[in-house]
Structure 1
Amino acid sequence: MGKQYGKISMAVIRRLPKYHRYLRDLLDKDVNRISSKELSILTGFTASQIRQDLNCFGEFGQQGYGYNVEELFHEIRKIIGLTKTYNTIIVGYGNMGRAISKYTNFTKSGFTLRGIFDNDPAMIGKEAENITIQSVDELEAYLKNNKVDIAIISTPRDYAQEIATKLSNGGVSGIWNFAPVDLKVSSDISVENVHLSDSLYTLSYLLSQKDDKTEK
């Protein structure tokens, strides 16, 4: 089990992956140290916000020196939990499921794809990413015999809750949900919803505000 922290706001937690991404880019460019001001320019967060965020997890950086990029990168990897490996399955192997399975950073970050499930007879039995696609009917038996940390749901919305219930009963720890519906699961299961339409509609709002300003 990783180090336990006090109550951290979701706003801070959601900023950590961005820090991780930019620090990785800095390492690729052989940058050894960076100040909170310089990191602010890259991330778009204020220098004060960056310092406050990092202080939630311990003491990082030195006055007049800034942050050691490599040390901070590895500490954030630990905080996020990327020093572990996660047994992962995908339920629903349509366009979204296939795109997720082929995402190169998926395996590099420790998310090991162990199983793929679908209800299309034409798909069942075929190989994808060196894994034999199984029927959703076999999901409950699979969960009984295999440890699954994270399940990715990329099914149509009408099937998502039924799948989530099976995953919950089968001991899955976390669900990454791409189905356009909010799931009801037991409180000990962490769920991250990715509603693509919500993001698109947010963009639509921002564009409409620009249009309104232009028309005035």
Structure 2
Amino acid sequence: MQTFSKRVSMTVVKRLPKYYQYLTDLQDQHIEKISSKELAAMMGLTASQIRQDLNSFGAYGQQGYGYKVKELKEAIRKILGLDLQYNCIIIGSGNLGHAIVNYERFKEEGIHFKAMFDVDPDQIGKKVGNVTVYHMDDLDAFVAHHKIDICILSVPQKVGQETTDRVVELGIKAILNFVPLDLTVPDDVVVESVNITDSLFTLTYLINEEDDDE
């Protein structure tokens, strides 16, 4: 656990994965160094914002030289905790759950899917890649015998909160929420919500706003 997380704003923290992705792309292109100005141009930020963000976690750049891509990427990787291993479960074995399990990048970054859970009898016992779909009745016993760090929630809205309550009772402290619902959790549980509907409706608004401007 990073001790500085309480002092750094969530706005900066949420930009870290973007930095990590851009640095990964640069490394794949065999680019060894980059200036804050060049990185800012790529990311749509300012050079001063780049320096300010990265200085929140330590001094990584050299004046007149910039940043060493590999070193900065590895530093951010550690800040994000991607040098560790995480066990995940997915509750809800629909299309979204399948897509998440099949995304190879997660395994490369130390995120391992141990099981999926559902109540649909047609799904129970099936495998998504190497991940077995279990019945929700097996959730408690499975979590009791496996260290689970993250639960990904993709269930109908009407059971979103009660499923969350059950996950919290089992001691899981991190939830990635795809349910269009503001979940209530204790202070020691972290939730990151991804509302695809909200994002799509924002796009429809912006499209129509552009049409109005024209």
State TM-score, norm by structure 2.
0.96
Give the equivalent residue in structure 2 for 1:201. 201
Which letter maps to 1:203?
A: L
* Unaligned 5+ runs, structure 1: none
SS class of match (2:14): helix
Which letter maps to 1:183?
A: L
Give the equivalent residue in structure 1 for 2:50. 50
Give the equivalent residue in structure 2 for 1:83. 83
Task: Give distance in 2, aligned partners of 1:2 and 1:191.
Answer: 17
Task: Give distance in 2, aligned partners of 1:96 and 1:5.
Answer: 30
CA contact (8 A) 2:4 2:57 kept: no
Q: State the aligned residue count.
A: 214
- The percentage of counterpart residues that share the same residue type is 48
Give the equivalent residue in structure 2 for 1:137. 137
* Structure 1 segment 103-118 matched on structure 2, within 5 A: 103-118=103-118
RMSD: 1.2
Give the equivalent residue in structure 2 for 1:30. 30
Task: Give distance in 2, aligned partners of 1:6 and 1:130.
Answer: 37
Q: CA deviation at 1:208?
A: 2.1
Change in 2 beyond 3 A, CA 1:5/1:11 = closer
Task: Give distance in 2, aligned partners of 1:62 and 1:154.
Answer: 44
* Unaligned 5+ runs, structure 2: none
Which letter maps to 1:77?
A: R
Give the equivalent residue in structure 2 for 1:102. 102
Task: Give distance in 2, aligned partners of 1:67 and 1:125.
Answer: 49
* Structure 1 segment 110-129 matched on structure 2, within 5 A: 110-129=110-129
Which letter maps to 2:117?
A: F
CA contact (8 A) 1:37 1:46 kept: yes
Give the equivalent residue in structure 2 for 1:62. 62
Which letter maps to 1:64?
A: G
Q: CA deviation at 1:90?
A: 0.5
Which letter maps to 1:7?
A: R
Give the equivalent residue in structure 2 for 1:73. 73
Q: Runs in 1 of length 4+ with deviation above 2 angstroms?
A: 1-6
Q: CA deviation at 1:16?
A: 0.7
Which letter maps to 1:35?
A: S
Task: Give distance in 2, aligned partners of 1:179 and 1:129.
Answer: 24
Q: CA deviation at 1:209?
A: 2.0
Which letter maps to 2:109?
A: S
Task: Give distance in 1, aligned partners of 2:177 and 2:5.
Answer: 26
CA contact (8 A) 1:5 1:57 kept: no
Which letter maps to 1:151?
A: C
* Structure 1 segment 172-187 matched on structure 2, within 5 A: 172-187=172-187
